C-alpha cells in the first residue's frame, strides 16, 4: 500500500544504554512487519515486509516473540473513540497498562494501523490507549481517533522485556522490502534496505540499499549482490539513548524515522524511499534512495546532509555509491537565492497567498553535478518529501487535505491532516 | 498541433523591435490560426501587408526549394523577391510550416524559390495553406509611434477624439476561450515612461477595432466593465515608471537596425507561442526570447459551465519576455532587470501582477554552484543524452518594491499557472545554437522545442532526456490550500463562482456574505 501510516511521538522510557536502541528495533519490527505490511498472521510479519531469507538477521533468539503478551484477530474500535476492544472475554489483563497494542488489518490503508500505548485497563475486553500515537483524524476536530473497524488483528507487546534481552550484537539487522516499488515506477522489482543496529563503535543505524532486493545466500555468504556502501552517519546519541521519542512514517515504498533522545537537542534518523524514476526504465530500472543523520536537526541548508546533499543511491555506470544533492523549484526567479535561504520579512507573502489561503512549495530532485564523468541533472524525484521556505511555522499542515506536515526548517513529510494537541517532536527537533 | 518557423533571417536593414512584431504577427496569422480583431497602422490584411493568400500550394522535395502557388491566386514575379511566405502544413508542421524568405521565382512553374533555412531538403508536400507578405523593411514604412497626447498611457485610443497612431494589433487565438493578444510598438511617450521595451506582447480579452483592449462592454455580464488583460500601463492608463516591469515584450535592441534570426513555435489549438531571437548584426546583445498564452498542465481551469468566462480565463494567461530594452536568452527572471526575463500574469483580485519562471536550483546551493551552470556539466553518464527539466510559471512572487522599507506596488499573491510551454531548462554549457534531439539549445540552457530540420549552420548535439513535472502525476510545484492547525480543511472551489452570487438575493437567508466570521485557529463545529 502506498498510503502512509504513522507512529506519532512514541515514548521510550529510561533504559540502560543499548536497550533503548533494542526497543527501537522491536518497534520497527512491529510497525513495519505488521502495521504496514501485515497479513492475517498474528505471529509472523507480512510476507512482503522483510527479505524472505533471514530478513530478521541476528538479534537474540526470542527477539520477535519475547514480550508478546497476547494477540487476537477480533479487535474492534468505534469512530472517534480511544478504546481498543476485543470480542474475547479474556483478551486484556490489568497488568497491560503501559504496554502497547499493535493493531492492523491485512491490506488496510487506515492510519489506525499503528502502535499504541495502553493507558487504562477498563475490563478484560477493553483498554484505553493513547490514540494520538496513531489513529485517523476525526471529522470534527481532526484530532487522531479510532475509526469504526472490526476484525482488527492485534498484539499486546511489552517492549521493555524485548529490549532487555541478552545477546544483541552489532550485526543485528532488519532487511526491509519496499514491496510497492512497482506501483511507483513501472516494472520495478522490490528493493531492500538493511537497517543495522550498530553498537560498535557507536550506537547508530547503518543503512544499506539493495536496488534489486538481492538479500540472500550468495556463494555461501549471506548478503547482497548489489549493496551500496553502508551509510553510517556517526553516533546517534551524545549520551544515553533514552528517554526518547520516536516517530515513524512508512508505506510500501518508504520509511522515515525520527529518533530524539532527551540527551541532546538534536535528532537522529533516516529516510529511505523509492523515488520517481526520471531516466528511462531500461537505464535506471531500480532507483532507491537513502539518507541518514545523527544528532543533527533536519535542514535544507546543509550541503552535505539531509535534503541539501545527504541522499545516496547506487550508481550503475561506475558501480559506486553516489551522493546526491537536492534541487527544488525557486520561487523568486533568481538562481543565487535558494528556497532554503528565504528570510522572514516583507517577502513572506511570496510564499503564501492570503487571498487563496494557499502555500507554494516544491518537490525535490536528486542530482549529481560534481563527480567527473557522472553528471546527472535530475536522476529521480523524491516522492516522500516536499520543501517550502523555512519561515513557515513548524507543524503547519500543508496541502488541500493536509497531506504534508512542515516538520522543521522547511522540510515537509507525509501527513494525514491530523492535529495533535502537542508537538509531534515532543523531545525536540 | 505545433507549427515551427525556422530561423527566419531578417533583411540586414530590418528595424528592431518592429520586425519582431511583424514576424510574430504574420506567423500567428499564417500558421497559428489567429484571426484579426483590430489594428492601427498595422494592417495585415490583403492590400496592405498581405500580398496574396490561398490554399493548394505545394513544396518541392529538392534544393533549391520551390513552392508552387496556384496561378489563380497569385502570379509570381520579381516583385516577390524578399517577401515572406507563410506556409501552414498539416502533415509536417515542424518542417514545412513557418515563414520563408522568397529568394527567387520561376515564372514558368509559377513557383517561388524560398530560403528553407536548413541544409536538409524538405519532404515534398502539397495542399499547403499559404499567405504572402511584403518584406519587413517595406512594411516598416507604415509603422507609427505617435502618442495620444495625454499624460497617461499614450499608445491607445481611449476616445474618438483622443487617439494614438502607435502601430498595434489585436489578434484572437484559436483557443476555445478565444483569448486574444495585443502586440504594440509603444509610443515614444510610453517608452520613456512605463514601457521601455518599446514592443509589448499582452494577452487578454475584449480587444477592439483599434487594436486596444477595452473594458468589457454592456451585455457581457457578469464581467461587464472589467479590464481583462496583461498590459499594466493600459490597464491603469498610466505612464508612471512605478509600473515598469509589467509591460513585457521582446526588444533586444530597441531602435536600431540590423539583421537577426527569428525562430517561433505556435500551438494552433491553444494559441500558445514562443519566439527566440538570435543576433547577427544588431548592436548589443540582440538575442532574447518571449513566450505567451496558456501554460501546460494548468492548475486552474474553469469548470465547464464557466469555460467561456473571460474573467476566469484571463487568470490562465501569461507572458514572459523583456520589460526593458535589453534582454537576453536566460532563465533568470527578475522584476524589470536588464537582461533578465519578466513575467506577467493576472491576479485573482483583478489586475496584472508580475511573476517569475520557476526552475530547479540547488536547495543548499554550496558555493553558488548550480548544476546547470557548471563548466563540467555534461550529458548524462547513464543515457548519453542531455537532460532537460520543465519550467513552471509562477505569478505574484515578486514585486517592484520587495524590500523591507518600500511599499509594494503589487501585493504578493503567489500562484502557479502551469508549465511553461515549448521551452525547457538544461545544462547551460551545451553547444550554443545546436539541435539536441527534438530541442534546439539556444544559449545558457534555454532549449526551444524543435523537432524539425536543423537550421542551416546549427551544430548537432546528443539526444535529450526530458523529465516533466506534470501536476497530474503529483509532481511539480504544488500550490495547495493551507490548513492552519486548528482550522477547518479548505473546501474545493464551488461552481458557480461564489463571488458572483447576488448578495441581495440571498441576504435574507444564508449567504456567503453573512457567514459568521471565524477567527483563525478556532474550529467550526469541532
- Give per-residue pLDDT as tens, A61-102: 999 999 999 999 999 999 999 999 999 999 999 999 999 999
Paired sense of beta strands B459-460 and B434-436, if any:
parallel
Q: Which of A302, A329, A336 sits opposite B392 (nearest CB)?
A: A329
Q: Is the pLDDT assigned to residue B518 strictly greater than 50?
A: no
- pLDDT, residue B431, reads 96
Among residues A345, A334, A336, which one has the least CA distance to residue A390? A345
Q: Is the pLDDT assigned to residue B246 strictly greater than 60?
A: yes
Sign of CA dihedral A410, A415, A420, A425: negative
Q: Which region among A171-180, B173-182, B417-426 has the lowest average model confidence (pLDDT)?
A: B417-426
- Å between B400 CA and nearest CA of chain A: 12
Q: Is the pLDDT assigned to residue A286 strictly greater than 70?
A: yes
- pLDDT, residue A241, reads 93
Which element (helix H / strand E) includes A136? strand A136-137
Measured distance CA(A170)–CA(A10) in Å, rounded = 24
Number of A–B residue contacts, CB under 8 Å: 256
More confident residue, B305 or A25: A25
Residue of B nearest to A387 (CA): B363
- Number of Cβ within a 10 Å radius of residue B61: 12
- Å between B187 CA and nearest CA of chain A: 30
The label of the residue with cell 538534536 reads A266
Pair B262, B23: CB distance under 8 Å: yes
Rounded average pLDDT over A381-386: 92
- pLDDT, residue B160, reads 86
Please state the φ and ψ torsions of residue A377, each to the nearest 5 degrees.
-75, -35
- pLDDT, residue B479, reads 59
Q: Is the pLDDT assigned to residue B488 strictly greater than 50?
A: no
Q: Is the pLDDT assigned to residue B507 strictly greater than 60?
A: no
Q: Is the pLDDT assigned to residue B517 strictly greater than 50?
A: no
Q: Is the pLDDT assigned to residue B473 strictly greater than 70?
A: no
Look over chain B and give the mean of its residue pLDDT values, rounded to a whole number.
86
Q: Is the pLDDT assigned to residue B474 strictly greater than 70?
A: no
- What percent of chain A is predicted at pLDDT more than 70? 97
More confident residue, B491 or B419: B419
ipTM of the complex: 0.92
Residue of B nearest to A349 (CA): B412
- Residues in chain B within 8 Å Cβ distance of A396: 482-485
Beta-carbon separation of B383 and A283 below 8 A:
yes
- Residues in chain B within 8 Å Cβ distance of A350: 396-398, 402, 412, 414
Rounded average pLDDT over B487-508: 40
Confidence of residue B366 (pLDDT cuts 50, 70, 90): low
> What's the distance, CA A120 to chain centroid?
27
Q: Is the pLDDT assigned to residue B244 strictly greater than 60?
A: yes
B499 burial type by CB count under 10 A (0-12 exposed, 13-18 middle, 19+ buried) = exposed
Among residues B361, B309, B324, B29, which one has the least CA distance to residue B176? B309
Paired sense of beta strands B439-441 and B386-389, if any:
unpaired
- Residues in chain A within 8 Å Cβ distance of B366: 303-304, 308-309
- Å between A343 CA and nearest CA of chain B: 11
Rounded average pLDDT over B414-434: 93
Rounded average pLDDT over B419-440: 95
Residue to substitute from B362, B388, B403, interface A, most A β-carbons within 10 A: B362
More confident residue, A130 or A299: A130
- pLDDT, residue A336, reads 58
Q: Is the pLDDT assigned to residue B516 strictly greater than 80?
A: no
pLDDT digits (tens, 9 = 90+) for B75-115: 999 999 999 999 999 999 999 999 999 999 999 999 999 99
Confidence of residue B469 (pLDDT cuts 50, 70, 90): low
Q: Is the pLDDT assigned to residue B451 strictly greater than 60?
A: yes
- pLDDT, residue A222, reads 95
Q: Is the pLDDT assigned to residue B260 strictly greater than 70?
A: yes
Confidence of residue B487 (pLDDT cuts 50, 70, 90): very low
- Residues in chain A within 8 Å Cβ distance of B476: 329, 363
- pLDDT, residue A325, reads 92
- pLDDT, residue B368, reads 60
Confidence of residue A254 (pLDDT cuts 50, 70, 90): very high
Rounded average pLDDT over A278-296: 94
Confidence of residue B325 (pLDDT cuts 50, 70, 90): confident
Chain B segment 327-366 residues within 8 A of A by beta carbon are 331-334, 340-341, 343, 348-349, 356-366
Measured distance CA(B83)–CA(A211) in Å, rounded = 61
Pair B422, B274: CB distance under 8 Å: yes
- pLDDT, residue B369, reads 67
- pLDDT, residue A151, reads 98
Rounded average pLDDT over A355-359: 78
Pair A278, A381: CB distance under 8 Å: yes
Among residues B169, B164, B226, B171, which one has the least CA distance to residue B190? B164
Which element (helix H / strand E) includes B26? helix B18-30
Residue of B nearest to A139 (CA): B526
Confidence of residue A344 (pLDDT cuts 50, 70, 90): low
Confidence of residue B397 (pLDDT cuts 50, 70, 90): confident
pLDDT digits (tens, 9 = 90+) for B458-467: 999 889 888 7
Confidence of residue B400 (pLDDT cuts 50, 70, 90): low
Look over chain A and give the mean of its residue pLDDT values, rounded to a whole number.
93
Q: Which of A284, A327, A347 sits opposite B382 (nearest CB)?
A: A284
Beta-carbon separation of B361 and A373 below 8 A:
no
Measured distance CA(A168)–CA(B267) in Å, rounded = 66
- pLDDT, residue B12, reads 95
Q: Is the pLDDT assigned to residue B309 strictly greater than 70?
A: yes
Question: Which residues have CB under 8 Å from B108's CB, separation 6+?
Answer: none
Among residues A174, A205, A180, A165, which one has the least CA distance to residue A67? A165
Among residues B364, B369, B469, B393, which one has the least CA distance to residue A411? B364
Instruction: Write down the pTM of the prediction.
Output: 0.91
Q: Which of B358, B396, B490 sits opposite A330 (nearest CB)?
A: B358
Q: Which region among A21-30, A157-166, A390-399 has the lowest average model confidence (pLDDT)?
A: A390-399
Rounded average pLDDT over B394-400: 82
More confident residue, B476 or A203: A203
Q: Is the pLDDT assigned to residue B483 strictly greater than 60?
A: no
Pair B51, B83: CB distance under 8 Å: yes
Measured distance CA(A190)–CA(A187) in Å, rounded = 10
Amino acid at each position: 500500500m502506498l498510503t502512509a501510516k504513522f507512529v506519532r511521538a512514541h515514548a521510550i522510557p529510561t533504559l540502560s544504554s543499548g536497550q533503548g536502541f533494542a526497543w527501537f528495533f522491536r518497534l520497527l519490527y512491529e510497525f513495519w512487519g505488521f502495521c504496514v505490511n501485515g497479513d492475517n498472521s498474528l505471529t509472523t510479519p507480512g510476507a512482503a515486509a522483510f527479505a524472505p531469507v533471514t530478513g530478521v538477521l541476528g538479534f537474540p533468539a526470542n527477539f520477535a516473540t519475547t514480550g508478546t503478551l497476547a494477540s487476537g484477530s477480533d479487535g474492534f474500535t468505534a469512530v472517534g473513540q480511544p478504546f481498543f476492544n476485543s470480542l474475547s472475554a479474556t483478551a486484556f489483563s490489568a497488568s497491560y497498562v503501559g504496554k502497547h497494542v499493535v493493531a492492523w488489518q491485512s491490506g488496510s490503508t487506515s492510519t489506525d494501523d499503528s502502535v499504541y500505548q495502553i493507558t487504562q485497563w477498563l475490563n478484560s475486553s477493553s483498554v484505553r490507549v493513547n490514540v494520538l500515537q496513531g489513529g485517523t483524524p476525526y471529522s470534527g476536530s481532526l484530532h487522531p481517533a479510532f475509526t469504526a473497524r472490526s476484525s482488527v488483528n492485534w498484539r499486546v507487546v511489552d517492549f521493555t522485556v524485548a529490549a532487555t534481552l541478552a545477546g544483541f550484537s552489532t550485526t543485528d539487522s532488519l532487511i526491509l522490502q519496499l514491496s510497492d516499488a512497482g506501483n511507483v515506477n513501472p516494472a520495478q522489482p522490490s528493493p531492500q534496505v538493511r537497517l543495522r543496529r550498530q553498537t560498535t563503535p557507536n550506537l547508530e543505524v547503518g543503512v544499506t540499499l539493495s536496488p534489486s532486493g538481492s538479500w540472500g545466500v550468495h556463494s555461501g555468504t549471506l548478503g547482497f549482490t548489489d549493496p551500496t556502501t553502508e551509510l553510517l552517519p556517526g553516533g546517534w546519541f551524545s549520551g544515553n539513548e533514552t528517554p526518547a521519542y520516536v516517530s515513524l512514517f512508512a508505506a510500501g515504498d518508504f520509511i522515515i524515522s525520527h529518533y530524539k533522545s532527551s540527551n541532546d537537542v538534536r535528532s537522529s534518523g533516516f529516510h529511505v524511499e523509492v523515488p520517481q524514476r526520471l531516466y528511462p526504465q531500461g537505464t535506471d530500472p531500480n532507483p532507491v534512495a537513502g539518507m541518514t543523520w545523527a544528532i543533527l536537526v533536519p535542514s535544507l541548508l546543509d550541503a552535505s546532509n539531509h535534503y541539501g546533499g545527504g541522499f545516496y543511491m547506487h550508481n550503475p555506470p561506475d558501480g559506486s555509491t553516489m551522493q546526491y544533492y537536492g534541487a527544488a523549484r525557486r520561487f523568486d526567479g533568481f538562481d543565487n537565492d535558494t528556497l532554503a535561504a528565504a528570510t522572514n520579512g516583507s517577502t513572506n507573502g511570496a510564499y503564501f497567498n492570503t487571498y487563496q489561503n494557499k502555500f507554494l512549495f516544491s518537490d525535490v530532485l536528486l542530482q549529481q553535478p560534481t563527480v567527473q564523468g557522472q553528471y546527472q541533472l535530475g536522476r529521480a524525484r523524491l516522492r516522500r518529501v516536499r520543501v517550502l521556505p523555512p519561515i513557515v511555522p513548524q507543524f503547519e499542515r500543508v496541502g488541500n487535505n493536509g497531506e504534508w506536515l512542515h516538520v522543521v526548517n522547511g522540510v515537509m513529510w507525509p501527513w494525514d491532516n491530523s492535529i495533535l494537541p502537542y508537538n509531534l517532536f515532543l523531545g525536540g527537533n | 498541433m505545433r507549427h515551427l518557423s525556422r530561423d527566419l533571417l531578417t533583411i540586414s536593414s530590418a528595424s528592431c523591435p518592429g520586425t519582431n512584431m511583424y514576424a510574430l504577427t504574420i506567423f500567428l496569422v499564417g500558421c497559428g490560426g489567429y484571426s484579426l480583431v483590430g489594428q492601427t497602422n498595422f494592417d495585415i490584411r490583403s492590400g496592405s501587408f498581405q500580398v496574396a493568400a490561398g490554399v493548394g500550394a505545394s513544396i518541392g522535395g529538392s534544393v533549391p526549394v520551390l513552392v508552387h502557388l496556384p496561378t489563380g491566386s497569385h502570379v509570381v514575379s520579381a516583385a516577390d523577391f524578399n517577401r515572406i511566405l507563410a506556409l501552414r502544413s498539416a502533415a509536417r508542421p515542424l518542417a514545412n510550416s513557418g515563414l520563408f524568405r522568397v529568394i527567387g521565382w520561376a515564372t514558368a512553374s509559377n513557383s517561388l524559390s524560398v530560403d528553407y533555412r536548413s541544409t536538409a531538403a524538405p519532404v515534398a508536400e502539397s495542399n499547403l495553406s499559404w499567405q504572402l507578405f511584403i518584406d519587413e523593411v517595406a512594411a516598416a514604412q507604415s509603422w507609427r509611434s505617435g502618442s495620444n497626447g495625454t499624460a497617461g498611457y499614450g499608445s491607445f485610443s481611449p476616445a474618438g477624439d483622443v487617439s494614438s497612431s502607435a502601430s498595434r494589433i489585436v489578434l484572437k487565438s484559436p483557443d476555445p476561450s478565444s483569448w486574444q493578444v495585443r502586440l504594440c510598438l509603444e509610443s515614444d511617450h510610453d517608452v520613456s515612461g512605463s514601457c521601455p521595451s518599446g514592443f509589448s506582447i499582452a494577452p487578454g480579452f475584449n480587444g477592439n477595432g483599434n487594436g486596444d483592449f477595452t473594458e468589457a462592454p454592456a451585455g457581457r455580464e457578469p464581467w461587464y466593465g472589467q479590464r481583462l488583460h496583461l498590459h499594466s500601463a493600459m490597464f491603469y492608463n498610466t505612464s508612471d515608471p512605478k509600473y515598469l516591469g509589467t509591460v513585457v515584450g521582446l526588444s533586444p535592441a530597441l531602435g536600431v537596425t540590423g539583421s537577426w534570426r527569428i525562430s517561433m513555435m505556435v500551438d494552433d489549438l491553444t494559441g500558445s507561442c514562443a519566439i527566440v531571437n538570435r543576433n547577427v548584426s544588431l548592436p548589443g546583445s540582440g538575442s532574447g526570447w518571449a513566450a505567451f498564452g496558456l501554460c501546460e498542465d494548468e492548475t486552474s481551469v474553469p469548470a465547464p459551465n464557466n469555460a467561456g468566462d473571460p474573467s476566469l480565463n484571463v487568470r490562465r494567461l501569461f507572458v514572459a519576455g523583456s520589460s526593458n530594452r535589453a534582454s537576453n536568452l536566460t532563465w533568470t527572471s527578475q522584476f524589470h532587470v536588464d537582461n533578465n526575463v519578466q513575467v506577467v500574469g493576472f491576479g485573482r483580485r483583478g489586475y496584472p501582477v508580475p511573476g517569475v519562471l520557476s526552475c530547479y536550483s540547488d536547495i543548499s546551493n554550496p558555493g553558488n554552484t548550480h548544476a546547470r551552470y557548471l563548466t563540467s556539466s555534461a550529458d548524462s553518464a547513464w543515457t548519453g543524452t542531455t537532460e532537460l527539466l520543465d519550467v513552471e510559471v509562477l505569478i505574484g512572487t515578486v514585486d517592484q518594491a520587495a524590500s523591507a522599507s518600500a511599499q509594494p506596488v503589487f501585493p504578493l499573491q503567489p500562484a502557479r499557472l502551469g508549465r511553461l510551454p515549448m521551452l525547457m531548462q538544461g545544462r547551460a554549457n551545451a553547444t550554443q545554437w545546436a539541435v539536441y534531439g527534438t530541442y534546439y539549445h539556444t544559449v545558457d540552457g534555454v532549449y526551444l522545442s524543435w523537432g524539425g530540420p536543423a537550421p542551416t549552420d546549427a551544430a548537432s548535439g546528443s539526444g535529450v532526456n526530458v523529465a516533466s513535472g506534470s501536476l497530474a502525476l503529483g509532481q511539480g510545484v504544488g500550490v495547495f490550500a493551507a490548513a492552519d492547525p486548528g482550522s477547518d480543511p479548505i473546501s474545493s472551489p464551488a461552481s458557480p463562482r461564489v463571488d458572483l452570487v447576488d448578495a441581495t438575493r440571498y441576504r435574507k437567508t444564508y449567504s456567503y456574505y453573512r457567514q459568521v466570521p471565524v477567527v483563525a485557529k478556532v474550529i467550526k463545529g469541532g
